[in-house]
Every structure is written in structure tokens, then in C-alpha cells.
């Protein structure tokens, strides 16, 4: 459907907004605002939802200003949000406490308790289609009951971050299959809430009643409430689409809506996602067979340490990003035998939640700044290779990787990943893939609402363009060298 559409991406570090002309496929404007960093100690990572609302208004205003358009020209919008977070509201719609985020590991004991109750990894796979992991939403609920029983008793709405923003925008508590998949109380095969899992936390129907209404991916959930429209400078007639989790909307924003392609996001964490028409549940617990926000499924793996690990080494050596990259490029593949397992925040892929980072093979010859930079970069990429191998073992093979995220435009990262993963790598022109995917979904959803719009396939062909100057091919000699280094990484992984 032609017209102007707004895509919003609320992540850990900040909120992005993007104005898309769906008729031409052109991005007209971008806006952004940072969030206060997650706070907490000993694994706690929390943010104030009010900070997301502040950033939302700033980002939308910036996108409209850069696009040179009035807010009333926006026909529909959609929200992409960081997954797994827990936002609790009381009966008046007020936030009860800070939101626990995807990267919060404080609830690992609660996750293990729930996993044991489900019958371990195999029982979780059979009941939910995935293995619940530390960071998923369900353990945050049990943690709240255990540590804040008075607040737990007042829960009226249990929302994910993107659900909360949709609630603020429309006054409707809704969720869709993609983001709901990461809660740990959603059955990805049946696309339904798993009430029995919630009853392991609190018997009865109270928690189920607090869950948002499930809608289909691509549905419009309503128009903007007047207060939200006024705060954002938009028309109260603008529609709000279902939106979804950042991984799901990022897949749409890279055109990953059919089998044969892989989206790789290089951010604080690293994510590899491959589209599937059927719920091919992997026996490997690290593979999360989430639903897609375009229909179908989006099996993915997510590593905990990527640019965050590189930033720690940069800070230690007092390097800016350019100098870090320059030094890493100077060192040879394998860093002269220096190997880092960069599990600074534990690790999800491979599944080592209690692991810590370690450095191996140090000698008086190889302990240089260049090798240390190379070792942390390679270590994070080895975890991605580990995850890609798991996807391949599940029957998910891609012919191309579309690379997005903060490190995506780095030629060094592009070449390392192409050689190590053994696939061509290319960046979309618009690297804010989740915000773009949200805008594309908004256009698709509005067309569905009125029965006269373009298909999602047509919209992706028009709106997702590749930057062919970034296309990077694997090099056979370097591939062989990486295989040696990767085997050494596998040999040094802690026992599980």
C-alpha cells in the first residue's frame, strides 16, 4: 500500500525511528535517542519503561524532521522491541517495577527450577518446541513472585517491551507469535499460550488472564489513542500494526521471509536467523524455533557476547574503534595461537550460562595488542560458527548471509565471517533492519486491514535493497586456516 509508514525499533541501547515511502521503497528519514544503560549488579539488567517512551518521542520527531513531512502524513506504524523483557502493569495500567531485560541472568536459578519441572531440555522441547533459557521471560515471573510477592499480587498485565509500547500507543494489550515465542510460556507449534507452564508459578487462571490477547502477525491492532498521537505528533487515525521482536522485524528488514537466506545481526549480542515454512524443532536446545512476524517460523541462535566483548578489550587497551580494527587486521588468522573464549556474560550458544571468559595459549611471543584484538574478534565469531553449524544440522541451509548491526559495515568483520562461515556476506543498504522491517510490516498490515495492499514479498523486493559494494566471498586458503582455529576453539570449550 502506498503512503508513508513509520517503523520503530526499541532496543537495549536506544530507540530508532524510520519513515518509509512504501510506494517508492525509499527511506526518507531516520531518528534516534539513547536509553539509560541497563542497571543492576550480579546479573541484574533492568531499565525503566518510561525511558523508552521518552526516547520514542525524540526518535519519531527526529525521523519526521529529517524526512521533512508532517506527522499526520503517517498512515500506519509498527514497533520492533528487544525480546524476552518483562513489563508488569497494575489494574490502572501503571508500571509496577523496572523491566527485567533479555540480558538479565539474575533469574538463572528460577529458569533451572522451571526447566527441571518441565522434564529438562527434552521435556521443554516436547511441550514448547524450544528449551527455555536464562533470559527468557518466564523465569522473570517466578523471580518476581519470589522476591516481590506484594507486587506479584497486583499484576494485571504481563507484557513484553514491544507489547508495552503497543499498549501505550493503542490502549490494547496484544501480542503476536514472533515475540511471544521468546517468553517460555508459548507453544511455538500450536501458536498458543502454554497455560500449564504459568500454573507451575501460580496455580489457577490469574496469570493467564493477565497475558495479552494473541493476534496474527500482520494484523492491525487499532488506531493511536489521542494522548499518544499528540505526544508523537501523529494523526489519531494512524493504525498500529502487530509489530514483533527485534529479530523477527530484522528478518523482514533484510528480506528474510522465505527459505534459503540467513540474517546475521552484529550487535551487543549476535543472532543468526533462518526462515522456515514449518516448525522444524531442533533437538539441539540452543536453536530457538521461534515464530516469524511474517508468518512461518524463524529458527535462530543468539550468542551473548559480540561487540560487547570487543568493547571490553578496547577499553582495557584504551583503543578507539578504528585503532582496534586496524590492530585486529594486522594479526594473522588464529592470532599466533592466542585463543579467547569471550564468555564475559556467560554464553547461550554454546549453552554455557555459568561460564566466564578465558585466554589460552599465551606466550612471550604472541601476547601482543594486535593478537589480543584479533583473539576477541575471532572468539565471538567462533560462537556464531558454532550456532550456524547447529542450524545446518537442523536442515536449515542458506546460500547467502545478510549482515546488519553495528559492526556490519566493517570490511574486517565481513571478511572474517565470510571465510569462517563459508558463505557470501552482503549488507542491505539500510542497516537499521528492525526499524525498516517494522515500517514494511506496517504497510503490509494496513493493506491487509483494507484488503487492497501489496503482498509482503512485493514490499520486501521494493524496500529492501542490497549494498553490492559490501558483498564478500569466502576465500579457500583462509577458510582452511579458520577451520584449524575453529577446531582449537571447540577443543577448549568447557564441559557441559
d(CA 317, CA 33): 28
Q: In this structure, what C-alpha cell is assigned to residue 353?
A: 550460562
Q: In this structure, what C-alpha cell is assigned to residue 161?
A: 517491551
d(CA 269, CA 473): 24
d(CA 75, CA 413): 38
Q: In this structure, what C-alpha cell is assigned to residue 406?
A: 553495528
Report DSSP letters for 419-480, one per residue.
HHHTS-EEEES---HHHHHHHHHHHHHHHHHHT----HHHHHHHH--EEEEEEE---HHHHH
| φ/ψ (deg, to 5) at 437 | -60, -35
Active site residue 246: yes
SS3 195: helix
Q: Which residues contact 495 (CB under 8 A, 6 or more apart)?
A: none
Q: Is residue 148 exposed (0-12), middle (13-18) or buried (19+ Cβ within 10 Å)?
A: middle
H or E segment and range at residue 51: helix 49-67
Q: Which residues face 360 on adjacent strands? A: 339
d(CA 181, CA 288): 9
H or E segment and range at residue 9: strand 4-10
Length of the chain: 496
Select which of 246, 345, 419, 454 is catalytic. 246
Catalytic residues: 246
Amino acid at each position: 500500500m502506498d503512503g508513508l509508514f513509520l517503523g520503530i525499533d526499541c532496543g537495549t541501547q536506544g530507540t530508532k525511528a524510520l519513515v518509509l515511502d512504501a510506494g517508492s521503497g525509499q527511506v526518507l528519514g531516520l531518528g534516534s535517542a539513547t536509553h539509560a544503560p541497563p542497571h543492576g549488579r550480579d546479573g541484574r539488567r533492568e531499565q525503566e519503561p518510561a525511558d523508552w517512551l521518552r526516547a520514542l518521542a525524540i526518535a519519531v520527531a527526529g525521523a519526521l524532521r529529517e524526512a521533512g513531512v508532517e506527522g499526520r502524513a503517517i498512515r500506519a506504524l509498527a514497533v520492533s522491541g528487544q525480546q524476552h523483557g518483562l513489563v508488569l502493569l497494575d489494574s490502572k495500567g501503571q508500571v509496577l517495577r523496572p523491566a527485567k531485560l533479555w540480558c538479565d541472568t539474575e533469574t538463572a536459578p528460577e529458569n533451572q527450577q522451571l526447566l527441571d519441572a518441565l522434564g529438562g531440555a527434552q521435556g521443554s522441547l516436547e511441550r514448547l518446541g524450544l528449551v527455555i533459557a536464562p533470559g527468557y521471560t518466564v523465569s522473570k515471573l517466578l523471580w518476581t513472585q519470589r522476591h516481590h510477592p506484594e507486587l506479584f499480587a497486583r499484576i494485571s498485565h504481563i507484557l513484553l517491551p514491544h507489547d508495552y509500547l503497543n499498549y501505550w500507543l493503542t490502549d490494547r494489550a496484544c501480542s503476536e507469535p514472533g515475540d511471544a515465542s521468546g517468553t517460555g510460556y508459548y507453544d511455538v507449534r500450536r501458536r498458543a499460550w502454554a497455560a500449564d507452564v504459568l500454573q507451575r508459578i501460580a496455580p489457577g487462571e490469574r496469570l493467564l488472564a493477565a497475558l495479552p490477547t494473541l493476534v496474527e502477525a500482520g494484523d492491525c491492532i487499532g488506531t493511536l489513542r489521542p494522548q499518544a498521537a499528540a505526544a508523537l505528533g501523529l494523526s489519531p487515525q494512524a493504525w498500529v500494526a502487530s509489530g514483533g521482536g527485534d529479530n523477527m522485524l530484522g528478518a523482514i528488514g533484510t528480506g528474510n521471509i522465505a527459505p534459503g537466506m540467513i540474517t546475521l545481526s552484529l550487535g551487543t549480542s549476535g543472532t543468526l536467523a533462518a526462515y522456515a515454512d514449518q516448525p522444524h524443532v531442533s533437538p539441539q536446545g540452543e536453536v530457538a524455533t521461534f515464530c516469524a512476524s511474517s508468518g512461518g517460523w524463524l529458527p535462530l541462535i543468539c550468542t551473548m557476547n559480540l561487540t560487547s566483548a570487543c568493547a571490553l578489550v578496547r577499553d582495557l587497551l584504551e583503543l578507539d574503534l578504528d585503532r582496534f580494527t586496524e590492530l585486529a587486521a594486522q594479526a594473522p588468522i588464529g592470532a599466533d595461537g592466542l585463543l579467547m573464549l569471550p564468555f564475559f556474560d556467560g554464553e547461550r550458544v554454546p549453552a554455557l550460562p555459568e561460564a566466564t571468559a578465558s585466554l589460552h595459549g599465551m606466550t612471550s611471543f604472541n601476547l601482543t595488542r594486535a593478537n589480543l584484538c584479533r583473539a576477541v574478534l575471532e572468539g565471538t565469531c567462533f560462537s556464531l560458527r558454532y550456532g550456524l553449524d547447529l542450524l545446518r544440522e537442523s536442515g536449515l541451509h542458506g546460500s547467502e548471509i545478510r549482515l546488519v548491526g553495528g559492526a556490519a559495515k566493517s570490511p574486517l568483520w565481513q571478511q572474517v565471517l565470510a571465510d569462517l562461515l563459508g558463505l557470501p556476506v552482503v549488507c542491505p543498504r539500510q542497516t537499521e533492519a528492525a526499524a525498516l522491517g517494522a515500517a514494511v510490516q506496517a504497510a503490509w498490515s494496513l493493506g491487509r486491514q483494507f484488503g487492497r495492499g501489496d503482498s509482503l514479498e512485493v514490499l520486501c523486493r521494493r524496500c529492501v535493497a542490497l549494498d553490492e559494494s559490501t558483498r564478500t566471498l569466502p576465500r579457500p586458503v583462509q577458510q582452511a586456516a579458520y577451520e584449524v582455529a575453529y577446531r582449537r576453539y571447540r577443543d577448549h570449550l568447557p564441559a557441559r
